[in-house]
Amino acid sequence: MRLSTLTGLLLLLLSSSVFAQTSKIIDSIEKLLPAQKDTILVKSYNELTWQYRTVDRDKAIAYGNKAAELGKELNFKKGIAQAYNDMGILYYDKQDFAAAIKLYNQAFQIRSEMKDDKGVAALYNKIGIVYQKEGHYDSALLYAQKALSLYETLKDKIGISYSLNNMGIVNQNMGNIDEALKYQEQSIAIKEEIHDQLGLAGSYVNVGNIYLLKKDMPKARELYEKAEAISRKIGDPEYLANSINNLSTIYQRMGDYKKSLPLAQESFDIRSKLGDTKGQVSCLINMGSLLTNTKQYKLAEEKYLLGLKLADTLQSCLPEKVKVYDGLAALYTLSGDYRKSAEMARLTIQYKDSIFTADLNKQFSEMETKYQTAKKDEQIQLQQNEITQKKYELIKKQYWLYGSIAVFLFSLLLAFSYYKRYQLKQEKKLQAEVMKQQDMATKAVIAAEENERKRIAADLHDGVGQMMSAAKMNLSAFENDIPFKDDHQKTSFEKIIGLVDESCKEIRSVSHQMMPNALLKSGLASAIKEFIDKIDTRVLKVNLHTEGLNERLDSNVETVLYRVIQECVNNVIKHSGANTLDISLIKDADGIAATIEDNGRGFDSKDKEKFEGIGLKNIKTRIGYLKGTVDFDTSPGNGTLVAIHVPLV
């Protein structure tokens, strides 16, 4: 807990609970306000901003604005920077990440002007944490590395430990589990050395999460229990809520539901008091799963629906929303409500696809921007090197004229050139690492999407599909035993069997479209042939030509090309009005060339509304991931040609 010099006398109030302590501290500071002025008043406003953080965020922000305004009037830079810093934390707690970044950058500018290296390093970490929450892992890792470098220069062990902790979290998010564990263990070693109890609570939770991913339940449980013990001892509600919710997950996986449910409920109550919406949703998902496992379906449904209601209030809760829909799908399947189960499964897929599309487009846009920036920096550096070389030549020609002065200048230029080369080398190393992490993150997203498609397709085919088939068999068996009153009843009964049969076919069709067997077993050419064979030739005649695809391609290449060609064919069916479609897929030494050409109505490629639609953007984005190119040749009345080239590295 952070106390200013003005509130040192309030230490006697720390004998009661955390929330009671905070209330007493706030009352005492507010009583002193009328007698204060100038920088002392700014410090008091800042202290109230921090104390109100877990009590009343609106009041906390109001006091933060007062501190910033008065600090500007007095030109009290330290007070202004502190106000921006604390309000940034408040908006981060509210999950308003754009506002948090803006405030952190304002604080960063002031602390940089003040040459407050420790404050600058802390802000590097805070900005990196925001980027990590938003899923911008390359930026998050870059800022954590900047913070670590500065803290190492300052020999600040606490700062070093927290920077290592942040780097561990980012690597965990990116799927680099072993690298994440290495950074977290280094962080814990420092925190244990300096007896940083609050920091250890957070680190134990983070390392517990890693061992949970490794499915080492005893080790994860040991670390969560350590975090819980420390959190209860020091009275930190945030880490306590986090650690006991994770412990609840462990007990659930161990089948000990009696221990699991109270912990999840306690975590939910704490997070409700803190106003942590994202955390509340996580607890409700946990409780919904627990109640489903104990067959308390009605209570489980209530928890999931409350989680859905809370998730709807935050844009950043989309991943949690997907988990709620997934949990409801499982719940309705177990309770026998297959119609609702199918609807929840559909919503799960819909929201996962929207998250994937939005995140991937954003990441590729950022990668392109960074590439262009790096390219411009390289051109500037080349120009600087040319200028330096010309100066060197000029000095060389005038060597005998200027004598010792020329020697001195030449030595100076050599030193400058060495420094610039070293600086450029370090920048290139950093850029290479960032690009590597970007590629890994993008590949992980594609793989996660396809794995989830496979899982849902298998669940539909093997779970719901088999249930529907069993239902059809049972109905058919009853048909001979039921005494129908008239032909109308018999016809109605046969229609019911027909509807169940159609549902079975639809489920098989959806599961095969999500992850075609031919793609998994025989490769790209077979999967595309299987897909177009299902198209009614009376509506659209499709001619397929393949060449050089006897051997299997990389699974990512096959998956992306299949999805792109599937999207192109669907666009032809929906929009073109064509009756003939020619597809060519040729692999040679240069890579894979694919063309999709129809004789439809075509469209105006200058019409941005049509040419920049989601479908065409998805095609460009996916082929861009493979470092390939897409060209469109079309005009009204002349059909459309899509030409794709993907290099094989």
| Domain CATH number, residue 604 | 3.30.565.10
Q: Which domain holds residue 392?
A: 359-512
Does any domain span residue 79? yes
Does any domain span residue 197? no
Sequential DSSP letters for 105-164: HHHHHHHHHTT-HHHHHHHHHHHHHHHHHHT-HHHHHHHHHHHHHHHHHHT-HHHHHHHH
Integer Cα distance of 597 and 582 in angstroms = 5
Q: Are residues 421 and 536 in the same domain?
A: no
Report the number of distinct structural domains present in the chain: 3
Q: What is the model's pLDDT at position 8?
A: 29
From 96, 115, 134, the end of a domain falls on: 115
Q: Are residues 445 and 464 in the same domain?
A: yes
Q: What is the model's pLDDT at position 491?
A: 79
Residue with tokens 């803190």: 274
Q: Are residues 507 and 569 in the same domain?
A: no
Q: Are residues 421 and 545 in the same domain?
A: no
Does any domain span residue 51? yes
Q: What is the model's pLDDT at position 126?
A: 92
Q: What is the model's pLDDT at position 483?
A: 78
Q: Please list the rounded mean pLDDT of every run of 10 residues in the chain (649 residues).
A: 33 39 80 88 89 85 92 92 92 87 93 92 92 85 92 92 90 86 91 88 87 87 89 86 89 87 90 85 90 90 90 77 87 87 83 57 45 50 54 58 67 74 79 69 64 65 62 68 76 76 68 57 79 81 88 80 85 86 90 91 74 70 84 87 87
Rg (CA), the chain: 31
β-partners of residue 646 are 592
Other C-beta atoms lying within 10 Å of the C-beta of residue 274 = 17
Tokens of residue 402, six digits: 């200027």
Q: Are residues 504 and 640 in the same domain?
A: no
Q: Are residues 378 and 436 in the same domain?
A: yes
Q: How are the residues of the chain apportioned to helix, strand and coil, as percentages rounded to the nearest 5?
A: 80, 5, 15
Q: What is the model's pLDDT at position 611?
A: 60
Does any domain span residue 63? yes
Measured torsion, CA atoms of residues 166, 167, 171, 174, in degrees rounded to the nearest 10: 70
From 81, 115, 149, the end of a domain falls on: 115
Q: Are residues 567 and 628 in the same domain?
A: yes
What single letter denotes the amino acid at residue 466? Q
Considering the entire predicted model, what is its pTM? 0.47
Please say whether the beta carbons of 623 and 642 come within 8 A. Answer: no
Does any domain span residue 332? no
Does any domain span residue 1? no
Integer Cα distance of 526 and 561 in angstroms = 13
From 489, 512, 535, the end of a domain falls on: 512
Q: Are residues 59 and 104 in the same domain?
A: yes
Q: Are residues 529 and 623 in the same domain?
A: yes
Edge to edge, the sheet with strand 591-598 lists 541-547, 580-588, 591-598, 640-646, 629-634
Q: Are residues 461 and 556 in the same domain?
A: no
Extract long-range pairs of 109-113: CB within 8 Å, 24+ residues apart. Answer: 110/77, 110/80, 110/81, 110/84, 111/81, 113/77
Please say whether the beta carbons of 164 and 148 come within 8 A. Answer: yes
β-partners of residue 543 are 582
Integer Cα distance of 191 and 206 in angstroms = 14
Does any domain span residue 373? yes
Q: What is the model's pLDDT at position 87?
A: 92
Q: What is the model's pLDDT at position 177?
A: 87
Tokens of residue 360, six digits: 């991937």
Q: What is the model's pLDDT at position 365?
A: 46
Q: Are residues 446 and 530 in the same domain?
A: no
> In degrees rounded to 5, what are phi and psi of residue 640?
-140, 135
Q: Are residues 548 and 487 in the same domain?
A: no
Does any domain span residue 349? no
